């Protein structure tokens, strides 16, 4: 295994990825937890297995969309909590090749995304509501958690772990180079060595020496001496941590906020509560300004299509990224206080001012007086005058950038590239 610093370098430059939650739950279309929330029995859920036939599945178009949005990697659910596998596992019949889909959907995904130059991540659920050796009755989340018929049912958890470990081996053996392994998730005492996590992580690194792993096998990534399974990056969910993520010593911990576009991961037909492209751009900028990444989710439907709303948001985000990507890729926080008008990102001697609030008069750069060599609008390279107007004469420690118009050219986020002295 190579050092974390080396393995994670590309990831911290990439900053923006696509999360894809897809499986049988796209048919009931009430989110990927539907089996648990509605306590659906095995028999009842089985009908979706016999029906799953995503005739419009076109991973090339997904990959193109991701690339055009400015994303550099993608993480797809190989198996979610319902236990259904999109890949051709030799260890189960509960897989896409045995549905009307009739083939390994992950193989096609990997090929298409690689062809667009994106790195590949596999989300694999530690939890399994289909496997007979996964605890059901009395479990916190299992659809059969309070079904008395399962009360005395014997199960052998080690069998399940052999199965889960075996599937991870398949995923890391049969699809070429895999860049990210995204395990999900630990709860109560289902955590750490309960998953035989050290063994799993060692095996993962043997098979894929450059891979990076999320932090959901358990352990504490922020500890001074974290467990071997504590992960390479933190994975805050549906939230951007107020101060980024640091360890006990105050040192930077790589992190990635996973964010839904509406409120669900898996396809949810009734959920139209989508974030605006502007919110998405600003959220991404916020992540980078705090030294993190954003993994933005789409939930393809039962036909295999990414919902139209999601596509149109991503396209608009992509237009912004095409002009302003230099302020995202390879960037980090600026170690300056958050400015009143927006946020900073930085790359070497370039400081990117993400101006989101126009305010009144020249834009103020607190305590930056004498430090800025020149300023250019990132989207077209045009000059922005750095000078101290007469009415700012008394604010000597600050720098000012002239904005002639009362309105910002880009209402999502106008980026000014500052060349530092």
State in angstroms the smallest separation of the CB of 235 from ligand GLC.
7
State in angstroms the smallest separation of the CB of 288 from ligand GLC.
20
State in angstroms the smallest separation of the CB of 2 from ligand GLC.
26
Is residue 271 close enough to count as binding ligand GLC by CB under 6 A?
no
Contacts with ligand GLC in 286-345 (CB under 6 A)? Answer: none
Angle (nearest 5°) at CA 260 between 259 and 264: 140
Nearer to ligand GLC, 56 or 237 (CB): 237
| Number of amino acids touching ligand GLC (CB under 6 A) | 8
Alpha carbon 351 to its chain centroid, in Å, reads 25
State in angstroms the smallest separation of the CB of 328 from ligand GLC.
22
Nearer to ligand GLC, 45 or 265 (CB): 265
State in angstroms the smallest separation of the CB of 258 from ligand GLC.
4
Nearer to ligand GLC, 6 or 238 (CB): 238
Site string (153-192) toward ligand GLC, x via CB under 6 A = -------------------------------xx-------
State in angstroms the smallest separation of the CB of 335 from ligand GLC.
29
Nearer to ligand GLC, 131 or 376 (CB): 131
Q: How many Å apart are CA 124 and CA 129, to the nearest integer?
A: 13
Q: Which residue has the tokens 């289909």?
A: 130
Nearer to ligand GLC, 184 or 232 (CB): 184
State in angstroms the smallest separation of the CB of 393 from ligand GLC.
52
Nearer to ligand GLC, 184 or 271 (CB): 184
State in angstroms the smallest separation of the CB of 261 from ligand GLC.
13
User: What are 122's strand-pairing partners?
Assistant: 76, 181
State in angstroms the smallest separation of the CB of 185 from ligand GLC.
4
Give which of 60, 65, 69 is closest to 15, Cα–Cα: 69
State in angstroms the smallest separation of the CB of 265 from ligand GLC.
5
Among 234, 258, 285, 372, which residue interacts with ligand GLC (rule: CB under 6 A)? 258
Q: How far is CA 234 from CA 213, 227, 240, 285, in A?
A: 9, 14, 11, 18
State in angstroms the smallest separation of the CB of 6 from ligand GLC.
26
Dihedral sign computed on CA atoms, order 170, 175, 180, 184: negative
Give which of 349, 331, 247 is closest to 293, Cα–Cα: 331
Among 15, 25, 32, 302, which residue interacts with ligand GLC (rule: CB under 6 A)? 32
Nearer to ligand GLC, 186 or 204 (CB): 186
**First vs last C-alpha separation in the chain:** 40
Q: Burial, 207: exposed, middle or buried (Cβ in 10 Å; 0-12, 13-18, 19+)?
A: middle
Q: Is 132 left (phi over 0), alpha (psi -120 to 50) or beta?
A: alpha
Among 183, 265, 320, 344, which residue interacts with ligand GLC (rule: CB under 6 A)? 265
Among 5, 38, 56, 237, which residue interacts with ligand GLC (rule: CB under 6 A)? 237
Nearer to ligand GLC, 258 or 368 (CB): 258
Q: How many Å apart are CA 161 and CA 197, to the nearest integer?
A: 10
Q: How far is CA 165 from CA 80, 83, 242, in A?
A: 15, 14, 35
Nearer to ligand GLC, 32 or 232 (CB): 32
Nearer to ligand GLC, 11 or 403 (CB): 11
Nearer to ligand GLC, 35 or 343 (CB): 35
Residues engaged in binding ligand GLC (CB under 6 A): 21, 32-33, 184-185, 237, 258, 265
């Amino acid at each position: 295994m190579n050092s974390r610093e080396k393995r994670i370098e590309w990831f911290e430059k990439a900053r923006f990825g696509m999360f894809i939650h897809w499986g049988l739950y796209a048919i009931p279309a009430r989110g990927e937890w539907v089996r648990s929330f509605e306590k659906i029995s095995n028999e009842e859920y089985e009908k979706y297995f016999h029906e799953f036939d995503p005739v419009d599945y076109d991973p090339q178009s997904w990959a193109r969309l991701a690339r055009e949005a400015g994303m550099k990697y993608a993480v797809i659910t190989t198996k979610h909590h319902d236990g259904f596998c999109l890949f051709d596992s030799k260890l189960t019949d509960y897989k896409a090749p045995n549905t009307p889909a009739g083939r390994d959907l992950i193989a096609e995904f990997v090929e298409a995304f690689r062809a667009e130059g994106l790195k590949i991540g596999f989300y694999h659920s530690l939890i399994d509501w289909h496997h007979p050796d996964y605890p059901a009755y009395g479990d916190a989340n299992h659809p059969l958690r309070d079904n008395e018929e399962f009360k005395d049912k014997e199960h052998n958890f080690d069998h399940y772990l052999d199965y889960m470990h075996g599937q991870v081996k398949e995923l890391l053996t049969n699809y070429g180079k895999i860049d990210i392994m995204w395990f999900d998730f630990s709860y109560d005492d289902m955590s750490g060595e309960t998953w035989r996590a050290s063994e799993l992580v060692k095996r993962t690194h043997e098979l894929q020496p450059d891979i990076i792993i999320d932090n959901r096998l358990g352990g504490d990534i922020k500890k001074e001496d974290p467990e071997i399974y504590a992960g390479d990056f933190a994975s805050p969910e549906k939230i951007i941590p107020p101060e980024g993520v640091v360890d006990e010593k105050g040192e930077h911990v790589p992190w990635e906020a996973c964010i839904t576009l509406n409120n669900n991961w898996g396809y949810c037909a009734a959920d139209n509560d989508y974030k605006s492209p502007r919110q998405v751009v600003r959220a991404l900028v916020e992540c980078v300004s705090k030294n993190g990444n954003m993994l933005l989710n789409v939930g393809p439907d039962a036909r295999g299509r990414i919902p139209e709303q999601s596509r149109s948001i991503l396209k608009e985000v992509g237009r912004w990224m095409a002009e302003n990507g230099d302020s995202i890729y390879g960037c980090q926080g600026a170690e300056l206080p958050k400015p009143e008008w927006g946020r900073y990102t930085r790359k070497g001697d370039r400081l990117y001012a993400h101006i989101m609030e126009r305010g009144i008069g020249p834009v103020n750069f607190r305590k930056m007086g004498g430090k800025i060599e020149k300023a250019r609008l990132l989207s077209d390279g045009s000059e922005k005058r750095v000078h101290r107007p007469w009415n700012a004469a008394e604010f000597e420690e600050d720098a000012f950038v002239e904005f002639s118009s009362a309105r910002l050219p880009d209402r999502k986020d106008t980026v000014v590239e500052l060349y530092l002295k």
